[in-house]
Chains A and B, each alone.
Chain A
Amino acid sequence: MILRINGEEEDIAGCDNLLELINTKRLKREAIVVEHNRRIVLKERWRETVLSEKDNIEIVSFVGGG
């Protein structure tokens, strides 16, 4: 399935929902904010957010320090 992740098209296999995508990409769950088709999706909703061809995903990863 082709997804547009942070502006770049990526061919991702075996990910039906956002949670699977985040696990596949080995992202640190507590450190990211995820937007699916321009809507912020809270952590609790990652599993139920089904991915479709050409979906737009924006992932903001934070590092510590303030």
Chain B
Amino acid sequence: MISGNVKKRGLKNHSDPLFLVKIGIAGCGGLGSNCAFNLVRSGFIKLKIVDFDIVEASNLNRQFYFSDQVNMPKVDALEANLKRINPDIKIDAIRERLNRANVKKIFADCDIVVEALDEVECKSMIVSSLVNKVKFMVAASGIAGFGNSDQIKIKRIKKNLALVGDLKTGTEKVPPFSPKVNIAAAKQADLILEYVLKGTTE
């Protein structure tokens, strides 16, 4: 299946950058699962999704899963959901907990990585481990709560690293809800689309 937006842009399939780039998604919770569907709908076809967890009923308030997928490994459920959008995508689904010892190896074949992890220790670990290894990385900080959603901003830390979020509202203090999580996840996906199609993050 040729994705609609690739057709619309009149590009040749084999040379389209959307078909060549491999995107790693670290964490398949609210950010990772929603960012992934935005990437697939945008026309990307090579993804590596990594998460150790299973789908829980409490995830359904914001994550891209369905009630009949509760107790499934998130990577398996996400792969199935993404393939319902485009059956021709190539997904590496890795059920593993990311740590300093395995993160570089797991994402070694990815051009771009989405930081979509939950805990601050993991976020800082993956960004510091990978930012010098990948072409482009999008991380997130401050996506919890509701209201003031214009505060979900993009901060360009360096040429190959952007940060999305309000930089202050963490899940330590307030629970996450679908709208702001989705705004942040969509912004992460849009940064990647911009980077790949324009070759720039400006």
Contact = CB atoms under 8 A, between A and B. Distances in A.
A33 interface: yes
Contact of B123 (A40, A43, A58, A62): A62
A35 interface: yes
A40 B127 CA distance: 9
Given A30-B121, A33-B124, A60-B163, A65 B157 contact: no
Contacts of B132: 40
Given A40-B131, A66-B30, A66-B140, A30 B120 contact: yes
Contacts of B171: 63-65
B55 interface: no
B6 to A, nearest CB: 29
B158 A66 contact: no
B127 A65 contact: no
Given A28-B120, A31-B121, A65 B142 contact: yes
B143 interface: yes
B168 A66 contact: no
Nearest to A39: B132
B120 A64 contact: yes
B116 interface: yes
Contacts, number: 80
Contacts of A63: 120, 141-142, 144, 165, 167-172
Interface string A22-66: 000000101111010010101100000000000000101111111
Interface of A is mostly: mixed
B128 A33 contact: yes
A49 to B, nearest CB: 13
Contact of A61 (B29, B31, B141, B172): B141
Contacts of B92: none
A58 B172 contact: no
A48 to B, nearest CB: 16
Contacts of B128: 33, 40, 42-43
A32 B139 CA distance: 12
B124 A65 contact: no
Contacts of A43: 128
Interface of A: 28, 30-33, 35, 38, 40, 42-43, 58, 60-66
